[in-house]
Amino acid sequence: MVMFNNFNFSKLKEGLTKTRDKIVNTITETISGKAVIDDKTLDEIEEILITSDIGYDTATNIIERTKISLKSDKDRSGLNILGTVKKELISIFDYMQIDGEEEKINKSKPYIILVVGINGVGKTTTIGKLAHNYKKAGLKVIIGSADTFRAAANEQLDIWAQRAGVEIMQKKQGTDPSSVAFDTIRKAIKEKYDIVLIDTAGRLHNKSYLMEELSKIKRVINKVLPNAPNETFLVLDGNTGQNALVQATEFSKVTDITGLIVTKLDGTAKGGVVFQISAKQKIPVKYIGIGEGIDDLQTFNPEQFVKAIFDI
Amino acid sequence: MFEELSLKLENTLKKVRGQGKLTEKNISDTLREIRRVLLDADVNYKVAKEFIEQVSQKALGKEVLSSISPGQLITKIIYDELTILLGGDRSEIKLNGSGLTTILVVGLQGSGKTTFCGKLSKKLKESNLKILLIAADVYRPAAIDQLKTLGSQINIPVFSISEQDAVKTVRLGIEYAKENGFNTVIIDTAGRLHVDEEMMLEISKIKELVNPTESLFVVDSMTGQDAVNSANAFNEKVNYDGIVLTKLDGDSRGGAALSIRSVVGKPIKFISNGEKLDTLEIFHPDRLASRILGKGDIVSLVEKAQENYDELEAGKLEEKLRKNKFDFEDFLKQIKAIKKMGSLSSLLGMIPGLGAQVKNAQIDDKALVKVEAIINSMTTKERIAPKILNGNRRKRIAKGSGTSIQDVNRLIKQFGEMQKMMSLMNQKGGGNSLLKNLKFN
């Protein structure tokens, strides 16, 4: 998690400004100057949480916990209530541990990262950004283009590889994606690459034959290197609603997701999906995408994230 | 979910039984449950609120009949209201009868615009229109290549320029279309965030320049609460005529569709599922309502079957069945016909009452591929007379189809059983009458 030192808080804030303004203004308007938290206030907080895609269960849960922790607290100011809600939100991520990614990579080179997700979430763009960041960290990176299905996926990834200045392994459209993964890793071992990023085709998690294909890719990778893939990142579109939870569950069944990357958080979508999945499935959020530029990928930091949403 | 919802509501309405009428007090738990169901389905917070008020108004004062349970009663009200909200009658795409029809396609990144453009061209081409695709996504790497690849698959030319200028691309594209006798252009634009002022300005400019016959907003059916914000923002700039709902072949409940429909008030015109170019469906509000509630979509299934049904082939098949001459060759044709209709899982998902079961069962579309591969590896002689399939032949077929000898044996055995069943049906006076008998027993 400390690999990327480009975490740029102001940029994240900028991306979330419109969101944040709306939420915070509503909350402070709602609760400032009130002596007691009445049902109406709680309803309004609930609305803010739910319209952030946090989900009915999680929102209700947060409110219940806020109520309990405010019971013994005499300070009923808007700021205190807001602070309590924030604290409760941050605590959802308490289980996440800052793992020494650098150490992990050094221990098992080449370090294989498989990137999966449904169609249109931004996998290829994310791979480009990841490649760029690893390269910047001084690592030798190769991308394996295992999206052999979508029209022009190869071309798109190729442009990203050029931007990041890293090697890429491609085969023609329609090739078995497992064979691309296989060859990329073989090449990485032979030519001593540090990082292997495998891009996969977007697939809906309820298509069993596509999910089977994914588990085959994983098996093939596993055959070349027993501990690989070292990471499997599930990319989620920040605009996605409650279905993201199902996506996380279903992809976990076939690939052991080790981290989430939430994209497109530079719009007005709040990515509240992150809280949902963390609360229910305990899959750590690793990075967030906040734009189409090569530098627009940031390490996820729970405190900064919640702060950026709620700070005045 | 329809059954599930009914059941859930039934639980909250237990105490209503014997109370005669639905009152504000005795349905409050029920309304809370409905709200939860809607929010879990990504219906926007405010839309859900309004919706519940409407349902509650309709429900209050209703007599609890003995013939229908309160749960069923409310479920029926929800279904009707949902259908109304999703929008009256179906709405077709406008075409310019005399001059050039221009169709502008807009939306967020990754919503499925480019794939939809390919599908729409294919669909319109079937009505003998001369179509030109304009690649106005000049930003995303390889977006133009993607459209060109799709275009070449369906034999539709794609216009693009080397400059990174979307407005110019569109202007020159339309000139090109007019000069070269095209009567329809479909403009694929770059995905953009509705808060990106520069990009939204660009789309306004394109809209102004083209004054499109039809403009469509493409939206991912998995979108969450924010759907109303982007739909509103795009509507302000483009004032689109309709909505295209994508990725409904996932398992999202599609509440976003309801939100957008009720907030923007524009009709949903198409459903765009999957990346294969022949799966564009016209939107039917009643069907989506029942699909959201888990009732299945039998009408779509029947239509799909009809589209792909070749009467002549069917006649031949019937004849063969009657004479008990159904062989592997016919079986292969059947498999191809099923595949034409879509994936097995999507077909089964349309059968009412099966929704929930299909979700749990693994429908393996690959099994069909395997069967097809095995039959493809047989010689014509073997297909017609499976009896000659000895050990050596089976080994060869397994090798040729990349399957195991067990797979081949299993298929041949199952096929043999199927033939036996058929001959049994024939002896009893034809399959049809057997089915009829079953029905009445």
Chain A residues 195-214 with a CB less than 8 Å from chain B: 204-209, 212
Tokens 């400032």 identify what position? A32
- Model pLDDT, residue A38: 64
CB contact under 8 A, A160 and B150: no
Instruction: Specify whether B314 is located in the same domain as B232.
Output: no
Q: Are B111 and B159 part of one and the same domain?
A: yes
Q: Report d(CA A174, CA A166) in Å as an integer.
A: 24
Nearest to A267 among B111, B193, B364 (CB): B193
A152–B220 CB contact, under 8 Å: no
Please determine, for residue A57, whether its predicted confidence score (pLDDT) is greater than 80. Answer: yes
Q: Which two tokens stand for residue A291?
A: 């734009």
Phi/psi for A143 (5° steps) reads -105, 135
Evaluate whether residue B405 is within a structural domain: yes
pLDDT tens per residue, range A223-253 = 999 989 999 999 999 999 999 999 999 999 9
Instruction: Please tell me which residue, A13 or B161, carries the higher pLDDT value.
Output: B161
CATH number of the domain at B401, please. 1.10.260.30
Indicate whether B314 belongs to any domain: yes
* Inter-chain residue contact B247 with A118, CB threshold 8 Å: yes
Smallest CA–CA distance, residue B266 to chain A, in Å, is: 21
The predicted structure's pLDDT at residue A3: 42
Residue A240: DSSP 8-state: B
- B252 contacts on A by Cβ (under 8 Å): 241-243, 246
Domain that holds residue B44: 17-87+295-300
Residues B111 and B222 in one domain: yes
Of B332, B371, B364, nearest to B348 (Cα)?
B364
Q: How confident is the model at residue A78 (pLDDT cuts 50, 70, 90)?
A: low
Residue B1 lies in a domain: no
Q: Is any Cβ of chain B less than 8 angstroms from the Cβ of A78?
A: no
Query: So what's the pLDDT on residue B155?
Result: 95
d(CA A2, CA B316): 68
DSSP structure string for A157-194: HHHHHHHHT-EEE---TTS-HHHHHHHHHHHHHHTT-S
Instruction: Looking at the structure, tell me whether residues B325 and B417 fall in a common domain.
Output: yes
φ, ψ of residue A145 to 5 degrees: the values are -95, 85
Instruction: Identify whether residues B56 and B116 lie together within a single domain.
Output: no
Residue B33 forms part of a structural domain: yes
Domain boundary among B300, B333, B366: B300
pLDDT at B58: 84
Query: How far is the C-alpha of B138 from the C-alpha of B142, rounded, in Å?
Result: 9
B55: in domain? yes
Residue B5 lies in a domain: no
Quote the tokens at residue A225. 């290197």
* Best mutation target, B193, B246, B339, to test chain A (most A CBs within 10 A): B193
By DSSP bridging, strand A297-299 and strand A285-289 are antiparallel
Residue A187 has pLDDT above 90, yes or no: yes
Give the model's confidence band at A7: pLDDT under 50 very low, under 70 low, under 90 confident, else very high: very low
Question: What are the chain B neighbours of A273 within 8 Å (beta carbons)?
Answer: 224
Task: Check residue A104 and report its DSSP letter.
Answer: H
Task: Report ipTM (2 d.p.).
Answer: 0.84
Do residues B120 and B186 make contact, with C-beta atoms less than 8 angstroms apart? yes
Residues B190 and B242 in one domain: yes
Count structural domains, chain B.
Answer: 3
Shortest distance, CA A268 to any CA of chain B (angstroms) = 7
Counting one residue from chain A and one from chain B, the pairs whose CB atoms sit within 8 A come to 160
Listed range (A22-31, A161-170, B157-166) with the worst mean pLDDT = A22-31
Shared domain for B61 and B120, answered yes or no, is: no
CB B269 within 8 A of CB B88: no
Average pLDDT over all residues of chain A: 84
Which tens digits make up the pLDDT trace of A107-144? 888 999 999 999 999 999 999 999 999 999 999 999 99
B220 to chain A: closest CA residue: A240
Query: Binning pLDDT at 50, 70 and 90, where does residue A307 land?
Result: confident
Give yes or no: residues B124 and B76 share one domain. no
pTM of the predicted protein model = 0.76
Q: Is residue B94 part of a domain?
A: no
CATH of the domain at B209: 3.40.50.300
B107 plus B233 within the same structural domain: yes
B22 φ, ψ (degrees, to nearest 5): -85, 125
- Range A174-208 burial, b when 16+ CB lie within 10 A, else e: ebebbebbbbbbebbeeeebbbbbbbbbbbbbbbb
Are B151 and B224 within one domain? yes
- Which CATH number fits the domain that encloses residue B42? 1.20.120.140
Of A18, A149, A206, the CB nearest to B250: A206
Residue B181 confidence (pLDDT): 94
Q: Do A208 and B363 touch (CB under 8 A)?
A: yes
More confident residue, A78 or A60: A60
Unique residue bearing structure tokens 């298509």: A207
What pLDDT is recorded for position A153? 86
For the cut 60, the answer to whether the pLDDT of residue A4 exceeds it is no
Structure tokens given for B12 = 């909250």
Q: Is A176 on the interface with B (CB under 8 A)?
A: no
**Does B366 share its domain with B220?**
no
Q: At what angle do helices A208-224 and A177-190 cross, to 10 degrees?
A: 20
Kindly state whether residues B209 and B265 are assigned to the same domain.
yes
Residues of chain B under the 70 pLDDT cut: 1-20, 64-69, 88-90, 290-318, 320-324, 337-366, 421-441
Whether B356 maps to a domain, the answer reads yes
